[in-house]
Amino acid sequence: MNLMKKFVAEFIGTFWLVLGGCGSAVLAAAYPGLGIGFVGVAIAFGLTVLTMAYAIGHISGCHLNPAISVGLWIAGRFDRKDVLPYILSQVLGGITGAAVLYLIASGKPGFETGNFAANGYGEHSPGGYSMIAALVCEIVMTFMFLIIILGATHSKSPKGFAGIAIGLGLTLIHLISIPVTNTSVNPARSTSQAIFAGNWALGQLWLFWVAPIVGAILAGLVYKILSPEKD
């Protein structure tokens, strides 16, 4: 497969994840009388991954997430030379998705950027959770997300169902962790929103790169021992 096609697929997929997932939070979650709430946002994020798994999975593997690309490499499922180009494609796709979302959201009179679906801890956590709580939450949630991905895409797993398991897994992760950090488990998603949310979000962005990547590395190491592709 042409490498440029893979990078473009990752760009489009991450664009959709941010526009669909964060868009549901910014545009629909608090809409008077018709808001979809935390549950709706969680489902929206799951649906973005599920739909892209079947749309671009055969092209790029549908990572949509720098932490996932790193974790898959650690697990021996991904070529090291493609890690950085994938991450660049994902970050650029996410930022483009956030820019489109901003253009749409700012078209409403009285629009204020606010948190713009950014991730945060302390006073910027939806539930007021501490930095330590956020760090633990993001590491564990990303760890479990990659375990789901590695299992669902394993050569011994049933074919054709990986996208469903992964999409539902991300939905569950959001149901657990939206109150803690607004759910990241994805540095590209966090970066895209932080740029528009302002200085506080950029100041806390380090956690939403470090924690997901640490969680993904741990999962890659663990799953490589539990069920390597080549016994």
pLDDT tens column, 37-59 = 999 999 999 999 999 999 999 99
pLDDT tens column, 160-214 = 889 999 999 999 999 999 999 999 999 999 999 999 998 999 999 999 999 999 9
Q: State the chain's mean pLDDT as an integer.
A: 94
Amino acid 8: pLDDT:
96
Amino acid 155: pLDDT:
82
Three-state secondary structure of the chain: CCHHHHHHHHHHHHHHHHHHHHHHHHHHCCCCCCCCHHHHHHHHHHHHHHHHHHHHHHHHCCCCCHHHHHHHHHCCCCCHHHHHHHHHHHHHHHHHHHHHHHHHHCCCCCCCCCCCCCCCCHHHCCCCCCHHHHHHHHHHHHHHHHHHHHHHCCCCCCCCCHHHHHHHHHHHHHHHHHHHHCCCCCHHHHHHHHHHHCHHHHHHCCHHHHHHHHHHHHHHHHHHHHCCCCC
Amino acid 231: pLDDT:
45
Which domains occur in the chain, in start order? 3-110+118-226 (1.20.1080.10)
Mean pLDDT in residue range 54-74? 96
Given a cut of 90, is residue 216 above it in pLDDT? yes
Given a cut of 80, is residue 154 above it in pLDDT? yes
Mean pLDDT in residue range 133-143? 98
Given a cut of 90, is residue 156 above it in pLDDT? no
Mean pLDDT in residue range 69-87? 96
Amino acid 91: pLDDT:
98
